[in-house]
């Protein structure tokens, strides 16, 4: 693994990296494979997982939104309800609910988010995703918009959402939403360091990067290699600096990665080989056909899953591509390479979530923290350790 990536101007060396995990609220785990996965989609499993994660030093969990079976995930729990349940079961973890414009009205979501913010003492967030599973929309009798029009709607959706979270007598007249003189009361909690509950955005295409750059607090991408993700960052930053950005602070960056941390590189590689060898072929092939509604349907053919191989799609968010597979040291070094290009958050998935989230906190995170402190020092600055999340080893924050 390369350790020579130059530090980009987009990198924030003072702020510790943040870590998130995918909430397994859909059945079948996060890889479409018949390999043993000691991961369950039910609430009890997830409640315990959330507590393990916050003790291990994770700051965020991301609930997925899915209404219909796909890639073998034949059972799904609704993201916003699940998110509230997990917030109630934890004390420090921030939980992000994925939401589709087109399924939700932004005013209804703003109201939900404010209530969730009050209930959780400022720990609720949303991930706005534009969708790819056409049947979910059309079988519900909802319009399925052409790819780039979905992002026009998403951008309006976030503008309305933020407007309703932050302004009184908010009005907006766009092509998808028409809001007149609306004030939501109560407002979100007044918490120092944030303008409102955080708005994440998941997408990869050129249209997604532009919309995120103009509107999102956080841009999330599918798994990518370093060169690939550098392209996403520059696309988002170009839109953010175009003068059309409506969000208060500059966007921050998160990338998905499937983690296989084992004592030796050979064991980790062998686990990946077994996942692929035991792929659930019909489910992966069905998924490959359905995702043609995403990246491949764009005008420039660039977007999520545009060039994903059969192997990539076994982790349905291209998580193998990020390369978090090896020993704890190798994974920590790889994570630092992503920090150098401007990544602020690692969104992670595992084969056996409870065991491996705990192991990640124990074996990988301490090395990441050492390496990021070194990196800061070598570049003439300091890692701000006041911003590190508490772990069970250090005890809870005051």
216, 142 Cβ separation under 8 angstroms: no
**Interface pick for ligand FMN out of 256, 322, 344, 348 (rule CB under 6 A):** 256
> Nearest-CA neighbor of 188 among 178, 179, 198?
198
Q: In terms of C-beta density within 10 A (0-12 exposed, 13-18 middle, 19 or more buried), how is residue 249 classed?
A: exposed
Minimum Å gap between C-beta 207 and ligand FMN is 6
Is 130 a binding residue for ligand FMN by CB under 6 A? The answer is yes
Is 106 a binding residue for ligand FMN by CB under 6 A? The answer is no
361, 58 Cβ separation under 8 angstroms: yes
Residue (163 or 319) nearer to ligand FMN, CB: 319
Q: How many residues belong to the site for ligand FMN (CB under 6 A)?
A: 25
Q: In terms of C-beta density within 10 A (0-12 exposed, 13-18 middle, 19 or more buried), how is residue 186 classed?
A: exposed
First-residue to last-residue Cα distance in the chain: 39
Residue (130 or 330) nearer to ligand FMN, CB: 130
> DSSP letter at 385?
G
Residue (232 or 327) nearer to ligand FMN, CB: 232
Is 204 a binding residue for ligand FMN by CB under 6 A? The answer is yes
From 44-52, 64-72, 210-218, 384-392, give the range in contact with ligand FMN by CB under 6 A: 64-72
Residue (27 or 166) nearer to ligand FMN, CB: 27
The token duo for 89 is 């079961």
Is 304 a binding residue for ligand FMN by CB under 6 A? The answer is yes
Cα(35)–Cα(64) distance, rounded to whole angstroms? 22
From 7-15, 102-110, 111-119, 125-133, give the range in contact with ligand FMN by CB under 6 A: 125-133
- Please tell me the number of Cα atoms within 13 Å of 329 on its side-chain side: 4
Question: Site residues for ligand FMN, window 132-171 (CB under 6 A)?
Answer: 132-133
**Interface pick for ligand FMN out of 53, 98, 211, 240 (rule CB under 6 A):** 98
- Give the gyration radius of the chain's Cα atoms: 20
**Interface pick for ligand FMN out of 101, 188, 251, 295 (rule CB under 6 A):** 295
Minimum Å gap between C-beta 398 and ligand FMN is 32
Cα(64)–Cα(82) distance, rounded to whole angstroms? 9
Is 203 a binding residue for ligand FMN by CB under 6 A? The answer is yes
Is 221 a binding residue for ligand FMN by CB under 6 A? The answer is yes
| Longest CA span, the chain | 61
377, 73 Cβ separation under 8 angstroms: no
Is 129 a binding residue for ligand FMN by CB under 6 A? The answer is yes
Contact residues toward ligand FMN (CB under 6 A) are: 64-66, 98, 127, 129-133, 202-205, 208, 220-222, 256, 294-295, 303-304, 317, 347
């Amino acid at each position: 693994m390369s350790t020579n990536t130059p530090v980009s101007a987009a990198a924030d060396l003072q702020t510790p990296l943040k870590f998130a995990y995918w909430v397994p609220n859909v059945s079948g785990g996060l890889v479409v494979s018949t390999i043993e996965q000691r991961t369950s989609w039910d609430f009890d499993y997830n409640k315990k997982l959330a507590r393990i994660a916050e003790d291990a030093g994770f700051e965020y969990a991301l609930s997925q939104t899915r209404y219909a079976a796909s890639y073998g995930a034949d059972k799904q729990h609704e993201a916003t309800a699940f998110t509230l349940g997990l917030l109630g079961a934890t004390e420090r973890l921030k939980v992000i609910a994925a939401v589709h414009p087109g399924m939700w009205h932004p005013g209804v979501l703003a109201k939900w988010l404010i209530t969730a913010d009050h209930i959780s003492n400022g720990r609720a967030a949303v991930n706005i995703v534009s969708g790819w599973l056409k049947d979910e929309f059309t079988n519900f009798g909802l319009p399925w918009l052409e790819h780039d029009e979905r992002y026009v709607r998403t951008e309006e959706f976030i503008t309305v959402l933020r407007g309703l979270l932050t302004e009184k007598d908010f009005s907006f007249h766009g092509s998808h939403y028409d809001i007149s003189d609306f004030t939501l009361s109560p407002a979100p909690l007044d918490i120092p360091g944030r303008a409102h509950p955080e708005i994440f955005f998941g997408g990869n295409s050129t249209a997604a990067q532009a919309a995120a750059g103009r509107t999102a607090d956080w841009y999330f991408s599918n798994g990518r290699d370093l060169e690939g993700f550098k392209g996403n960052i520059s696309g988002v930053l170009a839109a953010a600096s175009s003068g059309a950005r409506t969000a208060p602070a500059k966007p921050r960056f998160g990338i998905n990665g499937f983690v296989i941390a084992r004592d030796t590189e050979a064991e980790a590689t062998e686990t990946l080989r077994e996942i692929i060898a035991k792929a659930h072929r019909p489910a992966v092939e069905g998924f490959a056909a359905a995702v043609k509604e995403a990246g491949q349907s764009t005008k420039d053919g660039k977007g999520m899953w545009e060039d994903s191989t059969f192997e990539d799609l076994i982790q349905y968010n291209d998580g193998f591509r990020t390369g978090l597979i090896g020993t704890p040291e190798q994974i920590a070094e790889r994570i630092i390479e992503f920090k150098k290009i401007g990544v602020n958050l690692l969104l992670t998935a595992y084969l056996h979530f409870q065991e491996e989230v705990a192991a990640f906190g124990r074996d990988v995170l301490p090395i990441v923290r050492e390496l990021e402190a070194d990196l800061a020092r070598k570049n003439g600055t300091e890692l701000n350790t006041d911003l590190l999340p508490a772990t069970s080893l250090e005890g809870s924050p005051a």
